[in-house]
Amino acid sequence: MKNLTSIQPSKTQPARLAALKQSFHDWNQSPDVLAKMAKRLSTTLSLETQLGIIAEEIAQTIPFDALNYRHRIARQDFVFSTGMGGPHRCEYRLTLEGSYYGTLAFHRRQKFTDEELTGLEMMLSAAICPMRNACQYIAIEQAALTDALTGIGNKRALDEALLRASALADRHGAPWSLILCDLDHFKLINDNHGHVVGDHILSRTAEKLEQAIRNSDTVYRFGGEEFAVLLPHTSEQEAREVAERIRLAIESIRVDGGETPLTVTGSCGVATHLADEAPEQWLARADEALYRAKAQGRNCTRVFASIS
C-alpha cells in the first residue's frame, strides 16, 4: 500500500488567498452597474424575482415607463409586466447559444436614444445567463410535475393542486369540484391492439379533456388510464355537467384499429369539496363516486352522496 503524504501549503498560497479575498471584496463593493446587477441576479433562480431586479437596475440608468416579458416554458405561458406603457418601444428576443429565453420589451413616452439602446443591450447581455438558468430551473420543476406521455400534470402535481385548492376553498368559501375519469375496459385495448395504440388513445383523451374544460380548470393523469379534472368556483351541479361533457368528448374519440376504428368510453365520479375536508378525503369521495359509475354500467357520471 502506498503511503499518502499530506499536501503542504506552498509559500505562495497565503498571498493567493489574500488576493482572492481582495478581488471578491472589490467585486462585491464595485459601483459598476453590470457587476451590481450580476451580483443580485446570481442570488436567485426565481425568474420573476430576476425580472424585478432587471427592471430596478435598468431603471436607475435608463428610465422607462413599462417593461413586459413573455415566454412559454414547459407548455406554460410565463408573463411579467411592470409599469404603464408609452408609444415608443424597443423589443429584444433573448437568445443564448441558439436557444430562446423569451422576449423583453421596454416602453416609454420619449424615444430611446442610440446610446440608451446600446446600454440596454449591454445590460441584457449581462442578464441573459442568469435568466437562462432560471428558465431551465422552471422547466426542470415542470418536468417533475408532468406526465411524460400526455404532457398534462401527473399524480404529484394533482396532490399539490388538491392541497392548494382545499386551502383556498376553506379560506374563501368558494365551491371547488373534482372529477375523476377512468377509461372503460382499457386493458382490452392494450391486450388486443398493443400499447402503442393504447398510448395514442391516452394522449387523445388528454387532448379531449383539455378541450372540454375552461382555461381556469386543470387536467391530470394520475393512474394508468385514470384522469382527474380540478374545477375552481364550480358547484356540484356544474361539475356534473362538465363531467357529462367530458364523457361525450371521450366517446367521440376515433383511432385507426384496422378494419374498423377503435372507440373508447369513460366513467366519471364527481365530488365537491366540503368545509375543512382534507385533500385525501376529497379524493377518496370522488373515487367512491367513480367506483359507483363503474359498478352501475360504466360510460356514465355519478356524484358522491347523490341519489342518481
Active site residues: 225
Closest CA to 144 of 161, 159, 156, 135: 156
Would you say 230 and 176 are in contact if contact means Cβ atoms under 8 Å apart?
Answer: yes
Would you say 37 and 126 are in contact if contact means Cβ atoms under 8 Å apart?
Answer: yes
Question: Would strands 266-272 and 301-303 be described as parallel, antiparallel, or unpaired?
Answer: parallel
User: What does the DSSP assignment read for 4-23?
Assistant: PPPPPPPTTHHHHHHHHHHH
Produce one character per residue of 44-59: b if its CB has 16 or more CB atoms within 10 Å, e if not: bbebeebbbbbbebbe
Q: How many angstroms separate the CA atoms of 104 and 5, rounded? A: 56
DSSP letter (8 states) at residue 276: T
What separation, in Å, do the N-terminal and C-terminal C-alpha atoms of the chain show? 80
- The long-range contacts involving 155-162, CB below 8 angstroms and separated by at least 24 positions, are 155/220, 155/221, 155/222, 155/223, 157/220, 158/220, 158/222, 158/228, 158/230, 159/279, 161/218, 161/220, 161/230, 162/230, 162/279, 162/282, 162/283
Strands (DSSP E) contained in 44-133 are 66-73, 76-83, 88-96, 99-108
